[in-house]
Structure 1
Amino acid sequence: MGCCTTNCQKWTTFSLAGVFLLLGILIAVLWDGIFHKIVDHELSLANNKTKGYINWKETPIPMYLQFYLFNWTNPEDIRNITIKPNFKEHGPYTYYEHHIRENITFNDNGTISFQTKRLWKFLPEKSVGSLSDNITTLNPIVVTVGNMVKYKHYLVKRGVNFFLKEKKVTLAITKTVDEFIFKGYDDPLLDLVHKLNISGVNVPYTKFGWFVERNGSAEYDGMYNMYNGENDIEKLGLLNTWNYNNTVSFLKGNCSKVEGTTGELWYPPRDRSTIKLFSSDLCSSVELMKVDKYTTYGIEGDKYWGSEKVFDNGTTYPEMKCFIPEGVQLPSGVRNVSSCKFGAPAFISYAHFYMADPVYREAIDGMKPNKEKHDMYFALEPSTGLPLRVQAAFQINLKMDPVEGIDMLTNIPSKMMPSFWFQQTADLSKDLADQTKLLLVAPSAGTYTGYGFIGIGVLLLIIGGFVTYRRGWKQSEEERLLNQQSL
């Protein structure tokens, strides 16, 4: 039934104008706050139903892990001071990587505890070479044992020397790529390490391999406890503890803090100039600085880059000095992770000693640092923390030092010997990009809708006022007859 009377027409017009104005003002003023509250809840891990939890529990973004192994081509010349150790890079040996969270516990203090199971599948079509390729490298167990007994009694070292000779152990060892990475190999020296029973050294493995027993293990990376973002989205993903501690015992000061995220779930970084990433492989954190913009699928993010500060020894950045063990002084470019790696003289750097002191590259042959290939960076969408692109590359090196009393380690030079480097990459998928773009335009769309309603309301007011002023409201035939009769 339509409006017949002029009063009905006028009140309908002005009522609609009022409704549109009120609705428009409410949407324009409140939409942004309401929308972000809903989005923050969905981004958080408040419960097992949020979008953030579902994406975090089983990572939907395709990830790849590439290994590049260094083949030591001239180990027989190690005592010839005129010949440098020469290394030839082999790879990449590429694996598809998939993460699943297990043993998840929601805590009352706004945190969530969990372990991460990592699954790797070899991709021959994305690899250069086969897992059966033979690689010769510095024997990790030999230098580990040498590092353990370096300051022990001479008789202990001679006992180790006898064992090495009896078992015909060599300074260089040749194994397949698969054995060096995931499969592992038996080594009599591991039995010796267990028998030596050195305080603070507890090697839980019976085989050696850089990632042995890690594929499919939920325990390897340890137990994490992080903020779930329910109470404060700015803390989403930030670690509270690792293995039930908020510091690591073998580092001091600020360097010992467990801080940053695990690298997969991020709070909205917004205008932050730096972010921090905690790595179980380093047993410590890495700070990245904002340097540039990064765009993919039409989504713009901020690029956070790992600079030379990450592996500085305190010379350029004094606050980094606490990463250096007391009494140890090495040129910048490596981080000592021996205590994190069961006493092995292991040091982490960027690939090919990129951005490290030139002394490391000059001591050996075969290093070819490349900024584009060896840079480490994270590109994050600032208002959601969604990773747009991840490229993280680290190199594992073994420090070879002479040890008197062990024949094969006597009169050898002290050098940082590269073993391999690995690179983890992940790119935003198109499906997630489409969802994210909708999420990013929604606040503006809602606000503009509010402005549109306000515009319609104002327009109706203007029309209603103009018609009223001109007395243009039309009377119906029934209304005219009633008015005539009243006269």
Structure 2
Amino acid sequence: MSHDEVQFNENGTLTAIPKHPLVWVPEMSEGNQEDDLLVLPHIALLSITQVTSTSSFVTRLGLNIVIRQTNTQPLVEMTAKEFMFGYDSTLMSLGYQFLPSWINFEKLGLIDRMYDFEGDYETVFTGENDIAKSGLIDTYRGSHTLTQWEGQCGNVHNASDATKFSGNIQENDTLLFFRKSMCRAYEMIRVNSTTRSGLDGYIYHFAPNSNDNGNIRPENSCFCTETPCLPSGLLDVRGCYYGFPIATSYPHFFGADPKVRESVDGTNPDYEKHHSYFIIEPKSGLPLEVAARFQINMVLGNLESMAHVEQFSHMTLPLLWTETRLFGLPDSLQSRFRLYLNVLPIVETVSMYASFVLGTFLIWLSCWQYLKKIKNMTRTRKTWIDEFVEEPDTIKRASLTNRELETYYDSLVTPLNQDIVEHRSDEEI
């Protein structure tokens, strides 16, 4: 992922334009090529016929004439790259020319529409005011919520795109994960703990029945935008995909209502292969391992009145499933965060106790030096007194009373006073 036109704001956030460029990697493609020919669903035809199926008779008649004249079929041969990034379609060209407010692209590819960030911008927290929020989303397109949903279903505030989660995570904290292609933020709950790359981590899964539309989780009723609601396990995201009948689920309809798979052969949901999980270092919010897995489907209604697509009526048609994966931290980050999170806290603790011991020793040493000095002063004073008492011309203080000291003092002072008086008398005369 990249972020363009980064701008720092005064409230401890930054605003940027997110982008997610995709690059084909031949050595990771198991021998498959971008130009391999496949027979795949004609997404444009199925989408337009679904949208038009509830329109007036005249509208349906006009579209059927175009479909028959162009001989557009629901299954077509195309390359893998065309399916992902766009293929030529007469219907799309007509839609682009006559309905530019609805369709603003001439080619339709599944992945390029999922990663269309035209006009998007997001604002994230820098951590300046609260370090625990560093990297979390404040607003998307200037709002805390997505306009496609009402109420709490559209909330993306304090969500993470899995680059970094909140810091100082407590065991019972609920986290949020958001990617635009999912059209919502998913709640994540901690299920266990583990260690990855020498760092302790919490294991998170999506909350149970996250793709429910209110049948099981009443708080999810705002995800039901059309009546009747989709079965549990399918999330209607047409609002994020130009009104096309797109719904997301987990791969192979994992965890969905069993009746969703009734019209589809070949589905084989597997917990290990198809569930999503996140391993997060709780102090920093650093993701240690991530596997976010989603499936893109078309949910089609009654198409019996539309040309060439009648056999797809009332079908949930899986198109592809994706896995956003972080297998582990790069070596440079592993070493750095092991130092930050494992070594430095020990050094800090050892330094603290060492400073305490050293401080205690210095205080004891100061007290000992002070007491030693007092003892020396006392010894010196005692020696002086002893020397004074032992002088032959002095009076031994041990045998003198207060009266004797006073008499001795007067005997010393009286001659001096007499000399002063006689001197003053001579001056007067």
Shorter-chain TM-score tier: 0.7 to 0.9
CA contact (8 A) 1:249 1:256 kept: yes
Report the Cα distance in structure 1 between the residues aligned to 2:248 and 2:11, rounded to whole angstroms. 35
Give, in angstroms, the shift of residue 329 of structure 1. 1.7
**Equivalent position to 1:179, from 82, 89, 92:** 82
Q: Which runs of 5+ in 2 are unaligned?
A: 376-386, 389-429
Give, in angstroms, the shift of residue 466 of structure 1. 8.0
Partner of 1:122: 24
Change (3 A) 1:190 1:144: same
SS in 1 for 2:181: coil
Give, in angstroms, the shift of residue 193 of structure 1. 2.4
Report the Cα distance in structure 2 between the residues aligned to 1:117 and 1:284, rounded to whole angstroms. 17
Number of aligned residues: 373
**Equivalent position to 1:430, from 331, 336, 357:** 331
Partner of 2:183: 283
Calculate percent identity across the aligned residue pairs. 28
Partner of 1:38: none
Change (3 A) 1:304 1:298: same
Partner of 1:448: 350
Partner of 1:165: 68
Give, in angstroms, the shift of residue 125 of structure 1. 2.0
Superimposed CA distance per residue, residues 411-465 of structure 1 (whole angstroms, 9 cap, x where no aligned partner): 6431111000111111212211111111113233223212113223444666787
SS in 2 for 1:406: coil
SS in 1 for 2:23: strand
**Equivalent position to 1:263, from 152, 162, 169:** 162
Q: Which runs of 5+ in 1 are unaligned?
A: 1-98, 474-485
Give, in angstroms, the shift of residue 189 of structure 1. 0.8
CA contact (8 A) 2:177 2:186 kept: yes
Report the Cα distance in structure 2 between the residues aligned to 1:261 and 1:298, rounded to whole angstroms. 23
Superimposed CA distance per residue, residues 166-209 of structure 1 (whole angstroms, 9 cap, x where no aligned partner): 11100112211111113x211111123235539xx622211111
Give, in angstroms, the shift of residue 468 of structure 1. 9.5
The reply on whether 1:188 has 2:90 as its aligned counterpart is yes
CA contact (8 A) 1:179 1:209 kept: yes
Report the Cα distance in structure 2 between the residues aligned to 1:148 and 1:384, rounded to whole angstroms. 46
Report the Cα distance in structure 2 between the residues aligned to 1:214 and 1:285, rounded to whole angstroms. 15
Letter of the 1:264 counterpart: T
Report the Cα distance in structure 2 between the residues aligned to 1:156 and 1:456, rounded to whole angstroms. 88
SS in 2 for 1:166: helix
Superimposed CA distance per residue, residues 372-408 of structure 1 (whole angstroms, 9 cap, x where no aligned partner): 1212122111111111111111110011333343222
Give, in angstroms, the shift of residue 213 of structure 1. 7.7
CA contact (8 A) 2:303 2:313 kept: no
SS in 1 for 2:102: coil
Query: Which structure has more RCO (C-alpha within 8 Å, separation ≥ 6)?
Result: 1
The reply on whether 1:240 has 2:142 as its aligned counterpart is no
**Equivalent position to 1:439, from 320, 333, 340:** 340
Q: RMSD of the TM alignment (CA)? A: 2.8
**Equivalent position to 1:352, from 252, 267, 283:** 252
Superimposed CA distance per residue, residues 226-257 of structure 1 (whole angstroms, 9 cap, x where no aligned partner): 22211112322232221223322331111122
More strand by share: 1
Change (3 A) 1:304 1:220: farther
Report the Cα distance in structure 1 between the residues aligned to 2:238 and 2:320, rounded to whole angstroms. 16
Change (3 A) 1:461 1:406: closer
TM-score normalised by structure 2 residue count: 0.80
**Equivalent position to 2:264, from 339, 354, 364:** 364
Report the Cα distance in structure 2 between the residues aligned to 1:298 and 1:349, rounded to whole angstroms. 34
**Equivalent position to 2:239, from 335, 339, 342:** 339
CA contact (8 A) 1:297 1:430 kept: no
Report the Cα distance in structure 2 between the residues aligned to 1:308 and 1:457, rounded to whole angstroms. 54
CA contact (8 A) 1:118 1:214 kept: no
Report the Cα distance in structure 1 between the residues aligned to 2:310 and 2:63, rounded to whole angstroms. 13
Partner of 2:36: 133
Partner of 2:407: none
Letter of the 2:256 counterpart: A
CA contact (8 A) 1:147 1:343 kept: no
**Equivalent position to 1:296, from 178, 188, 196:** 196
Superimposed CA distance per residue, residues 116-151 of structure 1 (whole angstroms, 9 cap, x where no aligned partner): 232332222222322222222322111211122122
Partner of 2:121: 223
Letter of the 2:110 counterpart: W
Letter of the 2:152 counterpart: N
Q: Which protein has the larger Cα radius of gyration, Structure 1 or Structure 2?
A: 2
The reply on whether 1:253 has 2:156 as its aligned counterpart is no
Give, in angstroms, the shift of residue 295 of structure 1. 1.4
Report the Cα distance in structure 1 between the residues aligned to 2:119 and 2:354, rounded to whole angstroms. 53
Partner of 1:145: 48
Letter of the 1:350 counterpart: Y
Letter of the 1:146 counterpart: T
Report the Cα distance in structure 2 between the residues aligned to 1:276 and 1:213, rounded to whole angstroms. 23
Report the Cα distance in structure 2 between the residues aligned to 1:237 and 1:464, rounded to whole angstroms. 50
